[in-house]
Amino acid sequence: MDLNKLLKARSLAVVGASEKPGFGGDTCRNILEYRKDLSRVYFVNPGRETVLGRKCYKSLSEIDDEVELVIICTSQATVCGLLREAKTKGCGGAVVFASGYSETGDEKGKAAEEELKSLAKELDIAVLGPNCGGFNNYVDDVISFAFPVEKRDRKGSIGFISQSGQFCINLMDSSEMRFSYAISIGNGKIVTLEDYLDFLVEDEHTKVIAVYMEGVQDAEHFASCLRKAAEKKKPVIIQKGGKSEKGGKIAASHTGALAGSDRAYDAVFDKFGVIRADDMQEMMSTALLLSTLKNLPEKAAFASMNISGGETAICADMGSTFGINYPDFEESTLKKLKSMLPSFCTPGNPLDMTAALCYDSDLYAEGLKVVMDDPNIEMVLIGITIQLVVADPTIYNIYHGVKKVVDQGYKKPIAILPFIEGTRNRDVAEKFREIGVPILPSPKYAFSALSHLSSYIRYDSSKRELSLAVPKKAPAGKRRALSEVKSKQMLMENGISLDLGVIVTSREDALEKAKYLTYPVVMKIESDDILHKSDVGGVILNIKSEDEIGKAFDTILTNVKSRMPEAKINGILMQNMMPQGTELILGVKRDAQFGPMLLAGLGGVFVEVFGDSSLYPIPLNKNEAYEMLKSLKSYKMLTGYRGTPPRDIDAVVEMMVAISEFARKNKDRLCELDINPLFVYGEGAGVGVADALVVLEE
Amino acid sequence: MDLNKLLKARSLAVVGASEKPGFGGDTCRNILEYRKDLSRVYFVNPGRETVLGRKCYKSLSEIDDEVELVIICTSQATVCGLLREAKTKGCGGAVVFASGYSETGDEKGKAAEEELKSLAKELDIAVLGPNCGGFNNYVDDVISFAFPVEKRDRKGSIGFISQSGQFCINLMDSSEMRFSYAISIGNGKIVTLEDYLDFLVEDEHTKVIAVYMEGVQDAEHFASCLRKAAEKKKPVIIQKGGKSEKGGKIAASHTGALAGSDRAYDAVFDKFGVIRADDMQEMMSTALLLSTLKNLPEKAAFASMNISGGETAICADMGSTFGINYPDFEESTLKKLKSMLPSFCTPGNPLDMTAALCYDSDLYAEGLKVVMDDPNIEMVLIGITIQLVVADPTIYNIYHGVKKVVDQGYKKPIAILPFIEGTRNRDVAEKFREIGVPILPSPKYAFSALSHLSSYIRYDSSKRELSLAVPKKAPAGKRRALSEVKSKQMLMENGISLDLGVIVTSREDALEKAKYLTYPVVMKIESDDILHKSDVGGVILNIKSEDEIGKAFDTILTNVKSRMPEAKINGILMQNMMPQGTELILGVKRDAQFGPMLLAGLGGVFVEVFGDSSLYPIPLNKNEAYEMLKSLKSYKMLTGYRGTPPRDIDAVVEMMVAISEFARKNKDRLCELDINPLFVYGEGAGVGVADALVVLEE
């Protein structure tokens, strides 16, 4: 869908223009207040001659111009008729504020939205909304936002898409946010979140994309937008509502979007290098940091410069909590600092400079340059709280010091780190912003933003498989489990190496086949109906002789027949017993939206008590598989724990990639796969699939 | 030390009064700006006739009045002489800004501080500093703070003590903080942090105490202050610098305070119900929340009321992250809300009210009352961002709605929860504050503050043993490990029940003693010199016959003699082999400041891979021991995991209390105790000490 006539419309009409509070009045007031060129702006209201001093048209048809965008402030009943009329004026975009559509949750609302969607398609009009707050395009001065906010210059390079109108208002209320576009998408089922995302990824005026979302409409389209953004190195920051169970329900009832599992979103964001923010403030601060810096640091290597010991300690502590890397300074840097600072200072990183250099901007600039010249440092954090009303001139000395350094061509980025919120003198903040120095928010948010920046710099899209195995059809819900042997056969046919064993159907058969096996041997009941074989006495391990084989055959059959008399039995599976290795669990879970996801974790208490598992979207390559394992807390069990030699991690990685490929090929029918346990042996000795379960769609 | 003549001085003199920037000038300006009654304020400077339009005295002696407090703005060299002179005028308190004392880290500075300390004691003058920023007593209008800050009413009920002067400035820069006292204590070795804490605990004008600290001087005094505060139910919020390794070094070099282990601080704070804040902002927000509310909620049961779905989802998600309890509303509440809200709303907690009730304050008040009347709810959180410049009248409708409800006598506390920082119209915030409704900071800080409030309400000092076993003398550092038998003997003599076994010294002896044991038996080398018995082949388990006993005796001796030929051997310990139980580790670590701490965790990977252990100060009672176990992630291993019946938790708790008592009695000589493993059996079957190690001071 072409969004240019919506978001970059060269002419527009407000239908339902008014002077009263409400959609019509607020939109007109916003347009008059913010838009410079009013020559192709038209107000329409059959009941008025003028609105806010401007000519008012009786109808769209009366306007003697092409109307690319129609902003419909009137009620639901009028919308379809207005769109048809607008089409005759060359309209290609519409904003629909009216509610009463799918957000009501009832059949009437849903039908109304379907009707609107069909009509939009028929007329080829890109409809923002319904039930939305409008949008502002600050690049070309196209204003349609319907809510009253303080007058202020908000033009910048952050493209913001929101499934909540209120969040648009909140971000506009911040004195710091600066947008290329701010779009309140409303129900977002006609033009979707993915469409706006696509537009902003392509838009050259948008440096950073920020999104508040509750769900996606089209996972494939979503993934393709994220891939493009990753390849273009355009940061995408997403706050997704519904992390918690309660939050998920609220998000689902709010927009009626299909809420995929929240953990699946985390996994998808990880793959595509999307920055996930916990709340508005975190999203905003991260977007401001990334958009204000003239260039991002090359490595996540920070220097922290402060004027008091207490603040320096906080920077050290918060840095440690948020994983911020403060490299040691070079000896020569320490020496220079020592010569500039009072005798009792012990220079280090983080650095307590005391206030000694703050009384003179030249001195401050010299100190800053010493730190910036250190080859281990790529970005400098200056810890200072900018008061709301500046009573202490220190801040000006620091500002002029920083400006001198920037003017002299020093390129390493700098940010200001205040220690409390609710301060931030606007003029001072603006001066810093103009020289490319962002003012971070209070420490928890500042350090989350720096942590996001660090991850973003470290992310390398070339090492990732940037696609998803989105199923072509929605799951039908009917599931069929395969027996162990059938599960293993299916895996084997897909190139996953394992010991299949043999199925025997009589005592004699068992004794005959045993000749080809090596003791000890394991025997297990083989049946499509029995998922938990041990629970019915269907497994006997460590069988060491012909004699024991015979007994085991009888025992298993007797056990199963008495405990699950109805189960259809294919026979008894017999195979060499695998040596014990480190137990891993590998599995595939199917996410309703994003398709199969690989799950990995160590067996036993690791997953069950500590929830120590890793989930990642399929398909994945070796590098991604390796990173999955490394992200486990129990990873150290694989690298040589308490005298156990290192495990064959390469073999695990190969197995993970093979499973990924199997799941990708079977994305439309694979519901679940469990390899539990996978025994992992020492380096070079590989892995062994001890048990496997495949569950398919019927 | 009596702090009244310092902090509540009725007359004061500024020595070094001046008009220039710096201590003298800034202090005089602050006094003139903030203090109403100047009748007993004297400026002293031999070189001036007047300062800032006020008479200036040549010397303290010239003042014809008692001078309770002397504020010394002059250099280090003048301090002692001035104190002696001040004493002749009845002085009992002094503020010393000068630096050059112990903070320099050199001998000269330390000696200067010792001299000042002795003199202060001799003259009985309570000295704030040196190297401090002064203090303000907002209750009695005693001003001595030396730094320029914006003029504003800061009188309130938060008592703030800071080991960082810069943090005092930061908090004064906040437009929200309101203090009873704000004290920058500087080096804090003459009048100590503990002395100020004691003063504020007793002070009736101080409702909440907030502290920035880097270390304590006197752990016993510190604990007694915290006990008093806990018993009086006066909240103490502490931000302690030096959580991380780097931060610890910076904090130590900043004030030179002995930094106890950070984990020990956490444990002490837990015992005494101290709220620990991660940074200034968190400390400030928590203090503001607790001081602004007219009464605290009786239970941590919150309702969240919002005007948009997105904001409601954030409240649900953040609430879940921070452990905030949102109870379900009663059916009757849901019914009433349903009748008031638009048809498409699904009432719940958190509640998305939409903006429907915000256009009319009466309607809003009705909605709020419905929620407040719900018996499951004890406090209400209203989610709304207050803009810096109010463009949307909604906020006034909400304010008037809230005010109506408060005026009608509704007592359940209310707080406002904004979604971004850098907003907060001061007038609106002040209006809310006046009716006892605090404005929380941005969500991460807001929810940490609410989480602290929740813990504070749940904390019950009557269930804790409110003391510490602070050693009478500092550890000398020489350690002596006891053998297993000697360790166990010492524990046994202290009432800890265990199976001591027998020591045998010959093969024959072993065979004779074996008659009184039950097979299987275990044999271990017994030597003060061998701490890791298994490593030298000194342990043989599962011995099942006389024959094996003889062999084991020989094998152990041969092993040990070949691997540790120099070890002095007491014999071989022989005992019934304990049945395998769930393995616990119980230990005692000695903190240099706070004395012995009990450590508990499950054996194996739980402690080693996941660091899942709990540390708590000794002495402790059964309730505290039980809470320690419950705080472990692996606690579920004790309550019945995967078919294992529940373990004998009562027996573990008794063992923990017995160890606590042992460690308390031996606080001056016990360096370390390890019981590893302690086998825990099923309910009623008790515990078994499998191995023990006691390390004492020489």
HEC sequence for B82-122:
HHHHHHCCCCCEEEECCCCCHHHCCHHHHHHHHHHHHHHHH
- Dihedral sign from CA coordinates of A378, A384, A387, A393: negative
Under DSSP, is residue B606 helix (H, G, I), strand (E, B) or coil?
Answer: helix
Cβ contact, residue pair B254, A309, below 8 Å? yes
Q: Which residue has the tokens 């050199």?
A: B106
Q: Which residue in A341, A609, A641 has the most chain B C-beta atoms within 10 A of its own C-beta, making it the best mutation to test that interface?
A: A609
Could you read off the pLDDT of A464-490 as tens digits, one per residue? 999 999 998 877 778 899 999 999 999
DSSP code per residue over A328-389: PPPHHHHHHHHHHS-TT----SSEE--SGGGG-HHHHHHHHHHHHT-TT-SEEEEE----SS
Q: What pLDDT, on a 0 to 100 scale, did the predictor assign at position B260?
A: 55
> Which of B106, B279, B350 comes nearest A444 by C-beta?
B279
Burial of B635 (0-12, 13-18, 19+ CB in 10 A): middle
Band of residue B335 on the pLDDT scale cut at 50, 70, 90: very high
Pairing of strands B134-137, A54-57: unpaired
Distance, CA of B477 to CA of B208 (rounded, Å):
39
| Mean pLDDT value of segment A8-18 | 97
* Among A360-374, B54-68, B91-105, B255-269, the least confident range: B255-269
Lowest mean pLDDT among A213-222, A310-319, A521-530, B350-359: B350-359
Query: A149 contacts in B (CB within 8 Å)?
Result: 387, 391-392
The CA-atom distances, in angstroms, between A430 and each of A364, A365, A405, A425, A427 are 20, 20, 18, 9, 5
Instruction: Let me know: does A623 contact A271? Beta carbons within 8 Å.
Output: no
Please report which helix (H) or strand (E) contains residue A236, including its range.
strand A236-240
CB contact (8 A) between residue B308 and residue A166 = yes
Return the residue of B nearest to A251 by Cα. B313
Is the pLDDT at A184 greater than 80? The verdict is yes
pLDDT of residue A257: 47
Amino acid at B450: L
Question: Is there a contact between A243 and B320 if contact means CB atoms under 8 Å apart?
Answer: yes
With an 8 Å Cβ cutoff, are B420 and A105 in contact?
A: no
Among B246, B423, B636, the residue with its CB nearest the CB of A350 is B246
Residue B390: pLDDT over 80: no
Would you state the pLDDT for residue B259? 45
Contact A320 B344 (CB under 8 A): no
CB B570, CB B583: distance < 8 Å: no
CB A343 to CB B104 under 8 A?
A: yes
> Which of A303-312, A585-594, A646-655, B103-112 is predicted most confidently?
A646-655
- Angle ∠(B396,B398,B400) on CA atoms, nearest 5: 70
Q: State the CATH class of domain A299-461.
A: alpha beta
Whether the CA torsion A437, A440, A443, A446 is positive or negative: it is negative
Q: B258 falls in which pLDDT band (50, 70, 90)?
A: very low
Domain range B1-131, CATH architecture: 3-Layer(aba) Sandwich (3.40)
Cα A24 versus chain centre, distance: 36
Distance CA B242, CA B669 (A): 28
CATH fold of B295-458, please?
Rossmann fold (3.40.50)
CA A423 to chain B, closest CA, distance in angstroms equals 6
Which residues of chain B make contact with A308, given a CB cutoff of 8 A?
164-167
Q: Which residues of B touch A344 (CB under 8 A)?
A: 103-106, 109
Q: pLDDT tens digits, residue range A30-63?
A: 999 989 999 999 999 999 999 999 999 999 999 9
Quick check: B421 and A419 CB within 8 A? no
In B, which residues are within 8 Å of A582 by CB distance? none
- Which of B170, B311, B318 shows the shortest C-beta gap to A166? B311
Residues of chain B with C-beta less than 8 angstroms from the C-beta of A320: 243-247
State pLDDT tens for residues B282-304: 999 999 999 999 999 999 999 99
Nearest of A53, A147, A452 to residue A288 by alpha carbon: A452
Max avg pLDDT among B231-235, B346-350, B525-529: B231-235
User: Taking all residues of chain B, what is their mean pLDDT, rounded to a whole number?
Assistant: 93
- Among B167, B279, B421, whose Cβ lies nearest the Cβ of A441? B421
Q: A25: which chain B residues are within 8 Å (Cβ-Cβ)?
A: none
Kindly state the average pLDDT of the residues B544-551. 93
Q: Is the pLDDT of residue B411 over 70?
A: yes
Given a cut of 90, is residue B643 above it in pLDDT? no
CB contacts of A444 in chain B (<8 Å) are 278-279, 281-282, 444-445, 448
Nearest-CA residue of chain B relative to A319? B244
DSSP conformation letters of A173-233: HSSS--EEEEEE-TT-BTTBHHHHHHHHHH-TT-SEEEEEES--S-HHHHHHHHHHHHHHT
Mean pLDDT of A374-383: 97
CA distance A454 to B404: 49
- In this structure, whether the domain defined by A149-292 belongs to CATH 3.40.50.970 is answered with no
Distance in Å from the first CA to the final CA of chain A? 36
Backbone Cα Rg of chain B: 32
Check for a shared fold between B1-131 and B149-292. yes
With an 8 Å Cβ cutoff, are B281 and A442 in contact?
yes
* Closest CB from A166, A244, A282 relative to B307: A166
B359 confidence band (pLDDT: 50, 70, 90): confident
Is the Cβ pair B421, A444 closer than 8 Å?
no
The pLDDT tens digits for A647-689 are: 999 999 999 999 999 999 999 999 999 999 999 999 999 999 9
Contact A166 B350 (CB under 8 A): no
Cβ–Cβ of A317/B104 closer than 8 Å?
no
Please count the residue pairs, one from chain A and one from chain B, whose beta carbons lie less than 8 angstroms apart.
296
Short-list A580, A527, A694, CA closest to A539: A527
pLDDT score of A256: 47
B420: confidence class by pLDDT, cuts 50, 70, 90? confident
The whole-angstrom distance between B479's CA and the closest CA on chain A is: 27
The answer to whether B546 and B523 have CB atoms below 8 angstroms apart is no
pLDDT per residue as tens digits for the range A110-122:
999 999 999 999 9
Convert the pLDDT of each residue in B587-610 to its tens digit. Answer: 999 998 999 999 999 987 888 788
Tokens of A144: 């349609």
pLDDT tens, A312-343?
999 999 999 999 999 999 999 999 999 999 88
Quickly state the pLDDT bin for B253 (edges 50, 70, 90).
low
Domain layout of chain A by residue ranges:
1-131, 149-292, 299-461, 500-576, 582-697
Mutation choice for A interface testing from B149, B171, B173 by most A CBs within 10 A: B173
pLDDT single digits (tens) B462-521? 999 999 999 988 777 788 999 999 999 999 999 898 999 999 999 999 999 999 999 999
- Which residues touch A208 (CB under 8 Å, ≥6 apart)? A157, A158, A159, A234, A235, A237, A287, A290, A291
Residue A260's pLDDT is 55
> Min CA distance, A483 vs chain B (Å)?
24
Nearest to A385 among B170, B247, B350 (CB): B170
pLDDT given at position B252: 66
Residues of B in contact with A609 (CB under 8 A): 633-634, 636-637, 641
The shortest CB-CB distance from B280 to any of A284, A388, A420 is to A420
CB atoms within 10 A of CB B493: 9
Least Cα distance to A209 among A173, A180, A188 occurs for A180
φ, ψ at A158 (rounded to 5°): -95, 125
Q: Which two tokens stand for residue B530?
A: 């061998």
Interface contact flag, B280 A320, Cβ < 8 Å:
no
Q: Is B449 helix (H, G, I), strand (E, B) or coil?
A: helix
Taking CB atoms and an 8 Å cutoff, what residues of chain A touch B150? 387-389, 391
B615 pairs with which residues across the strands? B599
For the record, the structure tokens of A352 come out as 């307590």
pLDDT band of residue A194 (cuts 50, 70, 90) is: very high
Spacing of C-alpha B623 from chain mean position:
20
Q: Mutate one of B314, B633, B642 to test the A interface: name it (highest A CB count within 10 A).
A: B314
| CATH (one of 3.30.1490.20, 3.30.470.20, 3.10.180.10, 1.10.1370.40) for A582-697 | 3.30.470.20
Separation of alpha carbons B353 and B307, rounded Å = 5
> Can you tell me the mean pLDDT for B393-403?
92
HSE-CB at B180 with a 13 A cutoff on CA atoms is 22
Nearest residue of A to residue B173, measured between CA atoms? A387
By C-alpha distance, the chain A residue nearest B422 is A422
**Distance of CA B315 to CAs A94, B264, B375, Å?**
33, 33, 21
pLDDT value at residue B663: 97
Which residues of chain A does B278 touch, with a Cβ-Cβ cutoff of 8 Å? 317-318, 321, 443-444
Reported as a single tens digit per residue, the pLDDT across A507-564 is 999 999 999 999 999 999 999 888 889 889 999 999 999 999 999 999 999 999 999 9
CB contact under 8 A, B244 and A165: no
pLDDT at A424 over 80: no
Q: Any idea which of A261-275, B436-450, B529-543 has the lowest mean pLDDT?
A: B529-543
Report the residue of B20, B107, B169, B281 to disrupt the A interface, i.e. the one with the largest count of A CBs within 10 Å. Answer: B281
User: Does this complex have an ipTM over 0.85?
Assistant: yes
Q: Looking at residue B539, what is its pLDDT?
A: 94
Question: Are A184 and A134 in contact, with CB atoms under 8 Å apart?
Answer: yes
- Contact between B200 and B159 (Cβ < 8 Å): yes
Task: Characterise B611 by phi-psi region: left (phi > 0), alpha (psi -120 to 50), beta (else).
Answer: left
Backbone angles phi, psi at A382, to 5 degrees: -100, 115
pLDDT at A354 over 90: no
Q: What is the pLDDT of residue A253?
A: 63
* Chain B nearest CA to A535, separation (Å): 12
Cα separation, B102 vs B99, whole angstroms? 9
The secondary structure element, H or E, covering residue A43 is strand A41-44
- Per-residue DSSP letters for B336-363? HHHHHS-TT----SSEE-TTGGGG-HHH
Question: Of 3.40.50.300, 3.30.1490.20, 3.60.20.40, 3.40.50.1820, which CATH number belongs to B500-576?
Answer: 3.30.1490.20
Of A167, A307, A609, the CB nearest to B310: A167
Cis-peptide into B677, omega within 30 deg:
yes
